[in-house]
Amino acid sequence: MKIPVRAASHQYEVIIGSGMLKEAFESYRDLFETADQLIVLTDEHVWAAQGDYFTSSCPYSFHKLIMPAGESCKSFDNFNAAHTFLLKKKCTRKSLIIALGGGAVGDLAGFVAATYMRGIPFVQVPTTILAHDSAVGGKTAINHALGKNMIGAFYQPEAVLYDIRFLKTLPTREVLSGMTEVIKHAMISDPAWLNELMQQKVSHLDELMLADYLAKGVSVKARIVEEDETEQSVRKFLNLGHTYGHAIEAAAGYGGLAHGEAVMIGLVYCLLLSERYGAITRDVTIQFYQFARENGYPFDAVNNYTFAQLKDYLVKDKKADYGQLQFVLLEDIGKPYIKKIELSECEEVDAELRKLLSEVE
């Protein structure tokens, strides 16, 4: 399955299939054979689980750098270590980076590619469900102690090779985290698709259904990126659930809460906020929250922090505009829009969320 991404700066394809990695590599023979060196950036967990399969599937010689797993991959120290590795290997502008891993590896590797000698090509080889979102669209970044993804660049890959065979080894927590972004794509695009998802046990989808949902998610993102590559308008819709979710994630310390777990909390928060301005009803919010709980998403983290603690992270959100918070809200399911929200109203909805969590089973 091939999905084109026609970004303004660069066009490429996302190839999705099971057990197709070797074939995908061979289909990009010209790209890989014209590189003077191939550098694989991966993390310790991915390489332990997938290194043999990757090596047997890749018909080209490569050097690899095995990095720390999780959000620590996206640190300044690791960013520097990756550049040092490239310099020691005498990489040039004709070298090519392969990002083998989940969202953290892809974000880090993409930013390294964007900045090494002012930009060298890279290919995304995602190994998680979450990365169906992060690998597409060219957002690359590392973290700062004062905010997640604050230092980065828009830099598109040459291709995304998405072999869902990698997903078979994912623990349930990672499956759920990744499926949050699939659910988000449904929420901003298609009420019928969201309703279908809400009838599923999303951590136990069969391979064909998972591939179909991932392709749908990639297609939603591709259409938005084609219209707005650098997040000036509609691309902001992809941030549904992320403003409050990122605040919870940052408060927990990077890695303390899975990204998708934090965003799921943020989705419920945004439904509560949306109730004030559109057709979203409390019944819709409760039904969605119960679906999330029944699927095993944790919400305990909300009560671990006061709003005063979360406030500092909210106001530093990079989507803030002239000091005002910008939230993606839903006029209805499938109809996202942007609204500026005062901090005082954020606090009111935070209180509503805490009350919902205590009252609804």
| Predicted local confidence at residue 319, as pLDDT | 60
Tens digits of residue pLDDT in 220-237: 999 998 888 887 889 899
Sign of CA dihedral 303, 309, 311, 314: negative
Could you tell me the two tokens for 214?
A: 């991932």
Our answer to whether residue 132 is catalytic in this structure is no
> Do the Cβ atoms of 327 and 339 come closer than 8 Å?
yes
Answer yes or no: 246 catalytic.
yes
Residue 46: both structure tokens together: 């991915």
294 is catalytic: no
Q: Name the CATH topology of 172-359.
A: Dehydroquinate synthase-like, alpha domain (1.20.1090)
Please check whether residue 234 is in contact with residue 224, taking contact to mean a CB–CB distance below 8 angstroms.
yes
- Is there a catalytic annotation at residue 340? no
Nearest Cα to 113, choosing from 81, 86, 144?
86
| Bridge pairing between strands 11-17 and 2-6 | antiparallel
Pairing of the two strands 38-43 and 96-101: parallel
In tens, the pLDDT along 15-42 reads 999 999 999 999 999 999 999 999 999 9
Give the domain ranges of the chain.
Answer: 2-169, 172-359
Active site residue 93: no
Choosing from 71, 174, 231, 275, which is the catalytic residue? 231
Between CA 78 and CA 83 the distance in angstroms is: 9
- 334, 188 contact by CB (below 8 A): yes
Active site residue 165: no
How would you class 306 by CB atoms within 10 Å of its CB: exposed for 0-12, middle for 13-18, buried for 19 or more? exposed
Torsion sign over Cα 342, 347, 350, 356: negative
CB 261 within 8 A of CB 176: yes
Q: Would residue 242 show up in a list of annotated catalytic residues for this protein?
A: yes
Is 201 considered catalytic here? no
**The domain 2-169 is classified under which CATH number: 3.40.50.10320, 2.60.40.10, 3.40.50.1970, 3.40.50.2300?**
3.40.50.1970
Whether 204 is catalytic: no
Which is catalytic among the residues 71, 181, 261, 275?
A: 181
* Given the residues 78, 185, 259, 261, the one annotated as active site: 259
For the ranges 151-165, 227-241, 275-289, which has the lowest average pLDDT? 227-241
Q: Find residue 39's DSSP bridge partners.
A: 63, 97
Q: What is the pTM of this model?
A: 0.89
pLDDT band at 317 (very low <50, low <70, confident <90, very high): low
Residues 54-100: tens digit of each pLDDT: 999 999 999 999 999 988 899 999 999 999 999 999 999 999 999 99
184 is catalytic: no
Average pLDDT on 182-206 reads 95
